Amino acid sequence: MDHARYLIVGGGVAGTVAAETLRTLDAETRIVIVSAEDYPLYSRVLLPNYVKGKLPRQKVFLRTWEQYTTKNIEVLRGRTVVSVDAAAHQLALDDGARWQYEKLLVATGGQATVPPPFAGLPHVLPFRTLNDADRIREEVARVAALPEGARRAAVVGGGFIALEFPPFFAPHGIETHLLLRGPRYWHRTVTPEGSAVIEKLLESHGVVIHRNVEVTGAEKTANGLLLALSDASSLEVAAVGVGLGLDSTAPDGVPHNDGIGANAQLETEQQDIWTAGDGAEFDDVIAGRRRQLGNWLNADQQGRCAAQNMAGARRTFENVSQYSTHIFDMVIAMAGDRPETATPRVVSDGTKHVELYERDGILIGATMIGLAAERAAIIAAIKTKQKSPL
């Protein structure tokens, strides 16, 4: 049986940064990453620009295989960890190989949820990986070449990833329908005024918004799919963008709910197993509650922190999380803690819209829609625990 002191499941940013951090702390030890994707680290954040044709494919890569070799980090490429035996400190791969580890990091992120009506159907487009981005590009080109009446796409989901699709479709003259399960876009995340700003932007680019609907069935047609909707209507589309969140890909033997539970040091309940990144549900000491975050900076910083702790430190993870994206020409950004139960203070002129979360007069989080100049000052205030500049 092969043996590694440090074994890392997942070669995304959390896993890669963890491996590199461990190497800086220990020049000799064997460090192995098991990576289901056969690519060196690439930026998921840059994938939308690649799909839009604004960035060549090779520019999404953040590492080369040579860089892993130079750092003496082994990567088991295209391999999946199927199970972990925490008591024996062993794990099994999909090719039947078994490995012994001393310290394990589970940094498995998540895979895009594809709900049952779409399972196994063509023209259904989740968006998580570079392979997904390649498929989306192909499908956008295919749909754009259809006759005008057939150039129609649906997007399901009311979160950030769903928002990435309309700018892929609309510039190609593809009629785009956004299907929301809730009454408005981001209804759990922003106030009705905040939703209205985003919906106005989408509608100004021709997006048709359907509220309180779910896809209850889908069947293949000549050019795409016929969707049955919960309001008894139907919609024929050539492709469907799916932005419905993530499913856990934690191996068997690693307990998880939505995420893999961990304390504030990113240590799981199982001995010598840590977790980091999108898949980690950790005790957030800044927010004072358990959270699971899906952003690049968080995954990077958690990879670093978990690695230090695997090497013997007792660092508590503390980070002000941030996410920002461009939808058409508007920047939508979030930072810090935005408790679902809290009511934010809204500063808005209908196009620039900010929702500020304050505790005892101190800014703890913000959602910023269409805001440019003031964004940095707001994030700085959250980081330094100051009052809001607005």
Ligand X SMILES: Cc1cc2nc3c(=O)[nH]c(=O)nc-3n(C[C@H](O)[C@H](O)[C@H](O)COP(=O)(O)OP(=O)(O)OC[C@H]3O[C@@H](n4cnc5c(N)ncnc54)[C@H](O)[C@@H]3O)c2cc1C
What is the binding site for ligand X (CB under 6 A)? 9-15, 34-37, 44-45, 47-48, 80-81, 107-109, 127-128, 161, 164, 249, 251, 277-278, 294-297, 299, 323, 325
Render 66-92 in DSSP notation, one character per residue: HHHHHTTEEEEET--EEEEETTTTEEE
Nearer to ligand X by Cβ, of 8 and 215: the residue is 8
Q: How far is the CB of 108 from ligand X (least distance, A)?
A: 4
Least Å distance between CB 256 and ligand X?
A: 11
93-101's contacts with Cβ under 8 Å and 24+ in sequence apart are: 93/34, 97/2, 98/1, 98/2, 99/1, 99/2, 99/3, 99/4, 99/7, 99/32, 100/1, 100/2, 100/3, 100/4, 101/3, 101/4, 101/5, 101/6, 101/7, 101/272
Q: Which is nearer to ligand X, 191 or 295 (CB)?
A: 295
Contact partners, residue 379, CB within 8 Å, separation at least 6: 320, 322, 335, 336, 366
Q: How far is the CB of 264 from ligand X (least distance, A)?
A: 18
From the list 65, 64, 68, 66, the residue with the least C-alpha distance to 23 is 68
Q: Which is nearer to ligand X, 150 or 331 (CB)?
A: 331
Beta carbon nearer to ligand X, 154 or 276:
276
Residue 150 CB, shortest distance to ligand X, in Å, is: 26
Angle between helices 296-310 and 13-25 (to 10 degrees): 30
DSSP state, 172? G
If the CB atoms of residues 191 and 249 are measured against ligand X, the closer one turns out to be 249
Distance from C-alpha of 160 to C-alpha of 281, rounded to nearest angstrom: 19
Copy the structure tokens of residue 319: 């980070």
Question: Nearer Cβ to ligand X, position 235 or 333?
Answer: 333
Q: Which of 82, 81, 33, 1 is CA-nearest to residue 307? A: 33
By beta-carbon proximity to ligand X, the closer residue of 272 and 358 is 272
Comparing CA positions, the residue from 344, 351, 354, 360 lying closest to residue 374 is: 354
* Complex with ligand X: residue 11 or 365, whichever CB lies closer: 11
Contacts for 350 with CB less than 8 Å, ≥ 6 apart: 197
Q: How far is the CB of 300 from ligand X (least distance, A)?
A: 8
With beta carbons less than 8 A apart as the criterion, state whether 141 and 173 touch.
no
CB of 129 to ligand X, least distance (A): 7
Residues comprising the chain, all counted: 390
* Rounded least distance, CB 230 to ligand X, Å: 27
How far apart are CB 124 and ligand X at their closest, in Å? 16
CA-nearest of 376, 374, 379 to 390 is 374
Q: Which is nearer to ligand X, 68 or 127 (CB)?
A: 127
SS3 331: strand
Q: In 3-state terms, what secondary structure has residue 4?
A: strand
Nearer to ligand X, 6 or 213 (CB): 6
Question: Shortest gap between Cβ of 53 and ligand X (angstroms)?
Answer: 15
- Percent helix, strand and coil across the chain, each rounded to 5? 25, 30, 45
In whole angstroms, the minimum distance from the beta carbon of 109 to ligand X comes to 2
